[in-house]
Structure 1
Amino acid sequence: MMKLLEKLAGERAALPPKFTGKAILMAGLGGMIAISIAALMSARLDQLLVLGSFGASCVILFAYPDAPFAQPRNVIGGHFLSSLIGLLVVSQLGVAWWALGLAVGLAIAGMMFTRTVHPPAGSNPVIVWLVASQGAFSWQFLWFPTLFGAIIITIVALIYNNLTREGKYPKYWL
């Protein structure tokens, strides 16, 4: 028990460096633009293209664009795979509490196995489960909003990050 308490105290490492005011402004603006474009396209196409997890994706895409989790392969692949797993689990096992846990665990393992880890995508099976629990299960969720929404925010990140930053984005594709 004492060893656990010692571990819970943490390593007492220093906080990460502060973001500059410019970096804060530019990341916030990038996220605003990405979600606004996805929402506008949703309205114009009369097709849902926004997920709650995309807000968290924007944090990674615009505040940490050099991180592995921010690369297009991870954003698009992670969202797609996690929603697919959520849909498969719900379609086969229903909306039981344990099925939700299984779906999230399988999504994490699947993203790790395919090297498409994108932490916000871990919430997609939860979103699928919540929608299905309201009687609105649909395989279309995999395409709209998941895949096309993830592609939209990634395209915005590609353009925005390369126009506003010194570094290149992405670091890798496949």
Structure 2
Amino acid sequence: MTTAPARPRPRAVALATAVSVAALLTLVAVGTVVHQSLLIPPLAASMALVAGAPGLPLSQPRSVVGGQLLSALTGFTVLLFTGPGLWAAALAGGLALGVMMLARAPHSPAAATAVIVALQNPPFWSFLALLALASVLLVAVGLAGARAAGRTYPAYWL
């Protein structure tokens, strides 16, 4: 039987928490200005992976940025065939997983991004630009936090 991982050091917890709060407050500020605050939930989950479990494949830049963008594109593709709604959201969220797996960029929080796209039908280019910027910001903040903690992040880029 496997046991839970060891309790992290208080400094590591404080640093990961501070990095996450800083990144998410920045995203909330930007999201509020451009009226895309619903992006915060999947990006908060992404930041939790980057700061709290930086060694996981789901936390690597390829998965964070690629997974988010591929999932958004999946949501937009579903919209082309179905229009916005709950059925489209469920379809987009499920299909996003397959797309990310095929691209070797799995990132579970990104499935929620596909759902948001299929529910909201946001403006294509501005949404993708904001999502790309936010995803890169999360990776950059994760990189800075890892350096400050003396950890290695990312394990790989591509």
TM-score bucket (shorter structure): 0.7 to 0.9
- Deviation by residue 1:43-64 (Cα, 9 ceiling, x = unmatched): 6xx4357612111111101011
Residue from 102, 108, 117 that aligns with 1:119: 108
Q: What is the correspondence of 1:8-47 to structure 2 with a 5 Å cutoff?
A: 13-42=2-31, 46-47=33-34
Question: Equivalent residue for 2:125?
Answer: 140
Residue from 53, 73, 84 that aligns with 1:95: 84
Aligned length: 156
- Shift in Å, 1:154: 1.4
Letter paired with 2:114: P
Residue from 139, 146, 149 that aligns with 1:154: 139
Question: Which 5+ residue runs of structure 2 have no aligned equivalent?
Answer: none
Residue from 27, 50, 72 that aligns with 1:83: 72
- Shift in Å, 1:153: 1.6
Letter paired with 1:69: L
- Shift in Å, 1:113: 0.7
Q: TM-score, normalised by structure 1?
A: 0.79
Does the residue aligned with 1:80 lie in a helix, a strand or coil? Answer: helix
Question: Which 5+ residue runs of structure 1 have no aligned equivalent?
Answer: 1-11
| Distance in 2 separating the partners of 1:89 and 1:130 | 11
- Shift in Å, 1:41: 4.3
Q: What is the correspondence of 1:56-71 to structure 2 with a 5 Å cutoff?
A: 56-71=45-60
| Distance in 2 separating the partners of 1:38 and 1:96 | 26
Judge conservation of contact 1:49–1:146 (CA < 8 Å) in 2: no
- Shift in Å, 1:26: 1.3
- Shift in Å, 1:141: 5.0
Q: Does 1:131 align with 2:131?
A: no
